[in-house]
């Protein structure tokens, strides 16, 4: 049987970069083919070529055995290829129907839109693939997972047979990921074919039929989830052996560094985002804060770091009351902060590495003498930190914007870890990073813990929370539902808590025994 | 490696210039002048008359018209080389001064541009779009005038700096108000500086009609400032060149030093490039905004003071021929760098000064200079056009320098 899609020898050059080097790939009808690779490996370039956003320098594309030329997305759609982008292309104030029919409108005589007909078709699609989408709902009112389904419906509405999904799970909660995988299974059962782009190993193993690994613009190999282990895949992806397990010694907690008492914080929209929570983080331990995005974690971190006003309760760091203190005071006590959004809040992208490394210490010796900056010392500092934290860059005068995500995060880590700290607040420290960088950041965080630093780790990645934390607090709708010892928790238990369900004692016990089983094997 | 730390901001700037943005700027100026010349050709009636005879004649006349325009623009801006040589040979001091006067007059025209351009450029660096330079110039001129005639019996080395300081203070207050409004309430500085312009125009109008009107005049004019407040002239009449130009260069150096060499400048630039990161790093974003707007206003105020203390010696209505609005163009042309602003100001100063001669001798309206400025700016603002025309390679890094925040952000 001819494959539904075949790419042969696709090559794409950008100035100075060979983004795709003779990539060949086949997609069979009714399969989920995962395209695995680190950021910058060339996955997205390849898919943009297939989708007509770029034109290849060499190579051919065949759909159902027929060679096609794709010069624009409309060519691709015409050939039955559709793409779900990482960032949704939806208009929030329009209804689902309006969004779906945009660009492919049903029209009644006289130029009037035929919304009823479109809505009927959408409802049918939704039912066929069990997507549960209401055509009359406004997109702005829908959760992220449902918005993604609207994107998928857009493609099915245009009769696409081949769906490209670019990092579809990056924006989803664990529950939404499970639902997405179910929908993907339904789609292939009905004869659709899916290319699934990702850099998350677990997801690949979980849901794909075949896996093609790309590194440095080249196909490294194609395998199946049964044949390959996560470690093998990681090694193929990175090009060296990667230790996926985090190795850490037993925590030796000391005295409480961060104390939070009955903290209340309002969100910028004026809602109670953090509702009366109390906890402590001790030196030498990592407290993980788990929870679905948007349950008050952002506001909690902002209140702790002085970026948002505290509406009630107290915060103290190292014995000093820092409730509603300025960010500078909190920093000077010895708090390091790895912000959730590194590009927006953590770095000045247009500035060189040198300046980004002194962003919070520029006014102190040795970087300033009176009011003048000491450029020699600033430069020496950057040379030292670039080396120590292995920041890959042509020079330390390079603008941070031209670094990769992993190296950008290393700049932040270098800045925050290079001064004496007692408390580390890390928010989504590895979001969007590749396997190698994640390994690096995790090891540094554990190093800090072992040095006697108190660490508050906020993450929506369950794996990260479970691997790094010594204790885990689960946040749901602004409250901490429970704080558990990391060795007493299973993924299922955390999943329940994250969904706001208080598990019974039986379930807790089960989790404990399950965990022990894992340890035994 | 030991060489690298010496790479200060100015060298980085030069480096950047040599790489491409400088080339784009030069080509933009060249293209603007060329198109301006074409415009002169197509608006000259003689060209059409000659066209009727033959196309060749038409082209000839058009080229002559363009040549005349640019020749007289040049003569007007730097003086007539033949006249200068003749005067030097003649040896009469007054004749020499007359011959070289146009050259120095160009610097007189340049001086207010430097102050005003620095004002807007400094604002850009802090992420603020100060379009209120015109109003700040009016207020600075008014306060400097008052200080120029109200303080009596002071020696020049105290009175002149004092009057200049009053100009900076007036403009600074006019910048501080929209600054504090933005910092405390989030009101956008574009709207507020624009409104402050109208208040400044009408306020200086009122000042000239009531409290500051010269009792010996029937028209709205202020008293003359005292001699001790006047900018020292370096030559006798008719050369009006005064020390204000050097003070302006000093201010350009100070602005550069402040922005790139001090902790305050680091804060200002960081806030300008990413106010979120500045806030996260513990910087006070609101005070950076207030300081940035105040300094920007003070520089614009000095432009007004310079005109009163160096050229006009009294305040009259509508004295500022639009320096405040040209200053936005200067900051863009100079890519918000003090050195760039000085160069851009020289270009505008020479163009403006040359334009008068061009109007008299070549019978080309003075407005053509405004069109030239507009064309140059359009090409600067749309570098893609220049890159396409001259087949330049795409610049990899985003063009730095201008970083005004959008409408709704903090």
pLDDT tens, position by position, for chain B (410 residues)? 333 334 455 555 444 444 456 778 888 888 888 898 888 888 888 888 888 888 888 888 889 988 888 898 899 999 888 889 999 898 888 889 989 999 999 999 999 999 999 999 999 999 999 999 999 999 999 999 999 999 999 999 999 999 999 999 999 999 999 999 999 998 999 999 999 999 999 999 899 988 898 888 888 899 999 999 999 999 888 899 999 999 999 999 999 999 999 999 999 999 999 999 999 999 999 999 999 999 999 999 999 999 999 999 999 987 777 888 889 889 988 889 999 999 999 999 998 898 888 888 878 888 888 888 888 888 877 777 777 777 765 554 444 444 444 443 33
Output the domain CATH number for residue B178. Answer: 1.10.3470
Cβ contact (<8 Å) for A351 and B273?
Answer: yes
Cβ contact (<8 Å) for A339 and B280?
Answer: yes
ipTM of this complex:
0.81
Query: Is residue B2 a part of any domain in this protein?
Result: no
Q: Is residue A288 within 8 Å of residue A469, measured between CB atoms? A: yes
- Among A348, A372, A376, select the one facing B277 at the smallest CB separation: A348
CB contact B406 to A (< 8 Å): no
**Closest Cα in chain B, distance from residue A410 (Å):** 16
* Helices within A266-374 (DSSP H only): 297-304, 327-334, 353-356
| B400: chain A residues, CB-CB within 8 Å | 350
With CA atoms as reference, the chain B residue closest to A377 would be B5
pLDDT for B394 equals 54
- Among B263, B269, B280, select the one facing A307 at the smallest CB separation: B280
Full-model pTM: 0.80
User: Which of A461, A519, A449, A470 lies closest to A491, judged by CA?
Assistant: A461
- Among A337, A344, A363, select the one facing B276 at the smallest CB separation: A344
Q: Are residues B70 and B191 in the same domain?
A: no
Q: Which domain holds residue B185?
A: 111-361
- The secondary structure of residue B392, as a DSSP letter, is P
Structural domains in chain A? 5-238 (3.40.50.300), 256-343+404-409+417-520 (3.40.50.300)
DSSP E strands, A355-453: 368-369, 372-373, 423-427
- C-alpha to C-alpha distances, A151 to A91, A168, A442, B63, B76, nearest whole angstrom: 11, 11, 34, 61, 65
- C-alpha to C-alpha distances, A352 to A19, A356, B80, B263, B345, nearest whole angstrom: 26, 7, 48, 16, 29
Q: Is residue B137 within 8 Å of residue B303, measured between CB atoms? A: yes
- Other C-beta atoms closer than 10 Å to the C-beta of A370 total 8
- C-alpha to C-alpha distances, B326 to A343, B114, B126, nearest whole angstrom: 35, 11, 20
CA angle B309, B311, B315 (to 5 degrees): 65
**Closest Cα in chain B, distance from residue A15 (Å):** 10
- Among B4, B273, B398, select the one facing A379 at the smallest CB separation: B4
- The secondary structure of residue B187, as a DSSP letter, is -
B159-193: b or e for each residue (b if 16 or more CB lie within 10 Å)? bbebbbbbbbbbbbbbbbbbbbbbbeeeebbbebb
pLDDT for B18 equals 43
Q: Are residues B70 and B121 in the same domain?
A: no
Q: Are residues B330 and B369 in the same domain?
A: no
Q: Is residue A437 within 8 Å of residue A409, measured between CB atoms? A: yes
Q: Starting from the edge strand earliest in sequence, which strands make up the sheet with A256-266, in order?
A: A272-282, A256-266, A312-317, A320-321
Q: pLDDT category, A405, cuts 50, 70, 90? A: confident
* Helices within B363-382 (DSSP H only): 367-381
CB contact B280 to A (< 8 Å): yes
Q: Are residues B290 and B326 in the same domain?
A: yes
Contact partners, residue A521, CB within 8 Å, separation at least 6: none
Phi then psi for A105, rounded to 5 degrees? -80, 145
CB contact B277 to A (< 8 Å): yes
Q: Are residues B267 and B382 in the same domain?
A: no
Helix (DSSP H) and strand (DSSP E) numbers for chain A: 17, 24
Residue A328: CA count within 13 A, CB half-sphere: 12
Peptide bond into B20 cis (omega under 30): no
* Phi/psi-derived region of residue B274, left when phi > 0, alpha when psi is between -120 and 50, beta in every other case: beta
| A344: chain B residues, CB-CB within 8 Å | 274, 276-277
Q: How far is CA B365 from the centre of its chain?
A: 22
Q: Are residues B259 and B271 in the same domain?
A: yes
In this predicted structure, which of A123-132, A253-262, B193-202 has the lowest mean pLDDT? A123-132
pLDDT for B33 equals 87
Distance, CA of A233 to CA of A225 (rounded, Å): 9
The dihedral over CA atoms of B48, B50, B56, B61, expressed in degrees to the nearest 10, equals -80
- Is residue A139 over pLDDT 80? yes
| B266: chain A residues, CB-CB within 8 Å | 355, 362, 373
Q: Are residues B203 and B312 in the same domain?
A: yes
| Domain stops at, among B337, B361, B385 | B361
pLDDT for B201 equals 92
The dihedral over CA atoms of B98, B100, B104, B105, expressed in degrees to the nearest 10, equals 50
Structure tokens at B408: 């709704």
Q: Answer positive or negative: Cα dihedral of B3, B5, B9, B12.
A: positive
**Closest Cα in chain A, distance from residue B90 (Å):** 53
pLDDT for A167 equals 84
Question: Number of structural domains, chain B?
Answer: 2
User: Which of A267, A256, A266 lies closest to A313, judged by CA?
Assistant: A266
Q: Are residues B67 and B151 in the same domain?
A: no
Helix (H, G, I), strand (E, B) or coil at A36: strand
Q: Is residue B121 within 8 Å of residue B331, measured between CB atoms? A: yes
Q: By a Cβ cutoff of 8 Å, what residues of chain A touch chain B?
A: 15, 305, 307, 326-328, 331, 337, 339, 344-351, 355, 359-360, 362-363, 368, 371-373, 375-376, 379-380, 383, 395, 397, 399, 401-402
Q: Give the mutation candidate from A371, A409, A425 for the B interface (greatest B CB count, under 10 A).
A: A371
- Is residue A509 over pLDDT 60? yes
Query: Is residue B404 a part of any domain in this protein?
Result: no
Looking at chain A, the whole-number percentage of residues with pLDDT higher than 70 is 97
Query: Is residue B205 a part of any domain in this protein?
Result: yes
**Closest Cα in chain B, distance from residue A159 (Å):** 39
Query: Is residue B407 a part of any domain in this protein?
Result: no
Query: Is residue B98 a part of any domain in this protein?
Result: no
Q: Are residues B16 and B153 in the same domain?
A: no
pLDDT for A249 equals 84
pLDDT for A216 equals 84
Q: Please count the residue pairs, one from chain A and one from chain B, whose beta carbons lie less than 8 angstroms apart.
A: 82
Q: Is residue B24 within 8 Å of residue B383, measured between CB atoms? A: yes
Q: pLDDT per residue over A441-482, tens digit each? A: 999 999 999 999 999 999 988 888 999 999 999 998 899 998
Structure tokens at A381: 């500092």
Between A331 and A251, the more confident residue is A331
Residue A318: CA count within 13 A, CB half-sphere: 15
Structure tokens at A453: 């630093």
Q: pLDDT per residue over A332-368, tens digit each? A: 999 999 999 888 899 999 999 999 999 999 999 899 9
Distance, CA of A350 to CA of B340 (rounded, Å): 19
Q: Are residues B375 and B289 in the same domain?
A: no
Q: Is residue A456 within 8 Å of residue A369, measured between CB atoms? A: no
Q: Are residues B242 and B293 in the same domain?
A: yes
Between A110 and A162, the more confident residue is A162
Query: Is residue B58 a part of any domain in this protein?
Result: yes
Query: Is residue B4 a part of any domain in this protein?
Result: no
Q: Are residues B326 and B375 in the same domain?
A: no
Query: Is residue B20 a part of any domain in this protein?
Result: yes
- Among A349, A362, A399, select the one facing B274 at the smallest CB separation: A349
Helix (H, G, I), strand (E, B) or coil at B322: coil
User: Which of A190, A120, A135, A132 lies closest to A160, judged by CA?
Assistant: A190
- Among B5, B263, B277, select the one facing A345 at the smallest CB separation: B277
SS3 labels along B216-284: CCCCCCCCCCCHHHCCCECCCCCCCCECHHHHHHHHHHHHHHHHHHEHHHHHHHHHHHCHHHHHHCCCC
């Amino acid at each position: 049987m001819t494959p539904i899609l075949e790419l042969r020898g696709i090559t794409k050059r950008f100035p100075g970069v060979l983004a795709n080097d003779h990539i060949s790939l086949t997609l069979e009808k009714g399969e989920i083919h995962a395209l695995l690779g680190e950021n910058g490996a060339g996955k997205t370039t390849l898919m943009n070529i297939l989708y007509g956003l770029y034109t290849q320098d060499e190579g051919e594309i065949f759909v159902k055995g027929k060679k096609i030329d794709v010069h624009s997305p409309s060519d691709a759609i015409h050939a039955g290829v559709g793409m779900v982008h990482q960032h949704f292309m939806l208009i929030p104030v329009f209804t689902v129907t309006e969004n779906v029919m945009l660009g492919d409108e049903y029209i009644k005589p006289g130029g009037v839109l035929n919304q009823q007909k479109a809505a009927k078709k959408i409802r049918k699609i939704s039912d066929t693939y069990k997507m549960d989408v209401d055509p009359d709902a406004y997109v702005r009112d829908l959760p992220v997972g449902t918005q993604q389904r609207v994107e998928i419906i857009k493609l099915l509405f245009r009769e696409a047979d081949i769906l490209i999904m670019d990092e579809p799970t990056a924006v989803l909660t664990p529950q939404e990921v499970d639902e997405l995988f179910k929908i993907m299974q339904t789609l292939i059962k009905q004869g659709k074919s899916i290319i699934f782009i990702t850099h998350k190993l677990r997801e690949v193993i979980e849901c794909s039929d075949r896996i093609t690994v790309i590194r440095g613009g080249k196909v490294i190999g194609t395998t199946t989830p049964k044949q390959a282990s996560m470690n093998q895949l990681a090694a193929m992806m990175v090009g060296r052996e990667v230790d996926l397990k985090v190795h850490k010694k037993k925590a030796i907690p000391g005295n409480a560094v961060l104390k939070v008492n009955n903290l209340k914080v309002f969100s910028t929209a004026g809602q109670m985002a953090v509702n009366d929570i109390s906890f402590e983080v001790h030196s030498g331990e990592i407290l993980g804060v788990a929870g679905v995005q948007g349950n008050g974690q952002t506001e909690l971190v902002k209140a702790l770091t002085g970026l948002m006003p505290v509406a009630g309760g107290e915060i103290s760091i190292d014995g000093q009351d820092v409730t509603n203190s300025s960010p500078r005071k909190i920093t000077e006590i010895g708090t390091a902060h790895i912000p959730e959004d590194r590009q927006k809040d953590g770095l000045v992208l247009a500035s060189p590495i040198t300046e980004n490394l002194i962003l919070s210490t520029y006014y102190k010796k040795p970087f300033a003498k009176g009011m003048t900056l000491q450029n020699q010392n600033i430069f020496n500092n950057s040379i030292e930190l670039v080396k120590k934290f292995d920041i890959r860059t042509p020079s330390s005068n390079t603008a941070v914007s031209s670094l990769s995500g992993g190296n950008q995060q290393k700049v932040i880590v270098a800045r925050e870890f290079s001064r004496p700290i007692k408390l580390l607040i890390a928010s989504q420290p590895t979001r969007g990073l590749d396997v190698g960088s994640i390994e690096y950041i995790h090891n540094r965080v554990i190093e800090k813990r072992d040095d006697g630093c108190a660490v508050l780790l906020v993450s929506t990645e369950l794996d990260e929370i479970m691997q790094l934390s010594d204790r885990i607090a689960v946040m749901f709708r602004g409250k901490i539902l429970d704080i558990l010892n990391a060795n007493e928790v299973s993924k299922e238990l955390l999943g329940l808590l994250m969904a706001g369900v208080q598990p019974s004692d039986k379930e807790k016990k089960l989790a404990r025994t399950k965990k022990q089983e894992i340890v035994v094997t | 490696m030991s060489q690298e730390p010496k790479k200060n901001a100015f060298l980085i700037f030069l480096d950047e210039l040599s790489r491409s943005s400088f080339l784009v700027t030069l080509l933009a100026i060249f293209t603007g002048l060329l198109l301006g010349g074409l415009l002169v050709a197509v608006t000259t009636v003689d060209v059409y008359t000659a066209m009727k005879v033959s196309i060749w004649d038409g082209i000839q006349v058009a080229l002559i018209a363009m040549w005349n325009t640019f020749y007289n623009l040049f003569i007007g801006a730097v003086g007539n080389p033949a006249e200068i040589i003749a005067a030097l040979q003649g040896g009469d001091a007054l004749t020499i001064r007359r011959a070289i006067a146009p050259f120095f007059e160009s610097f007189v025209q340049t001086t207010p541009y430097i102050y005003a351009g620095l004002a807007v450029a400094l604002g850009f660096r802090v992420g603020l779009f100060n379009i209120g330079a015109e109003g700040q110039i009016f207020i600075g001129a008014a306060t400097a005038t008052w200080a120029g005639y109200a303080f009596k019996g002071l020696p020049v080395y105290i009175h002149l700096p004092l009057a200049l300081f009053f100009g900076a203070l007036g403009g600074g207050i006019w910048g501080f108000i929209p600054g504090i409004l933005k910092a405390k309430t989030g009101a956008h500085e574009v709207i507020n500086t624009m409104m402050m312009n109208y208040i400044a125009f009408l306020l200086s109008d009122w000042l000239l009609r009531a409290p500051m009107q010269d009792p010996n005049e029937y028209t709205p004019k202020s008293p003359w400032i005292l001699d001790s407040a006047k900018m020292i002239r370096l030559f006798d009449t008719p050369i009006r060149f005064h020390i204000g130009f050097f003070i302006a260069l000093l201010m350009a150096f100070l602005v550069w030093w402040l922005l790139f060499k001090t902790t305050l400048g680091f804060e200002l630039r960081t806030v300008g490039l990413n106010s979120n990161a500045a806030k996260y790093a513990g910087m006070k974003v609101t005070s950076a905004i207030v300081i940035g707007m105040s300094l920007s206003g003070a520089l614009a105020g000095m432009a007004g003071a310079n005109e009163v203390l160096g050229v006009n010696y009294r305040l009259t209505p509508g004295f500022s021929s639009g320096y405040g609005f040209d200053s936005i163009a200067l900051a863009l042309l100079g890519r918000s760098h003090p050195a760039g602003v000085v160069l851009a100001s020289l270009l505008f100063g020479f163009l403006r000064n040359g334009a008068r001669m061009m109007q008299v001798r070549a019978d080309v309206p003075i407005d053509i200079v405004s069109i030239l400025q507009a064309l140059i700016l359009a090409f600067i603002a749309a570098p893609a056009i220049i890159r396409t025309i001259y087949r330049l390679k795409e610049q990899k890094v985003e063009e730095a320098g201008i970083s005004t925040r959008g409408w709704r952000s903090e």
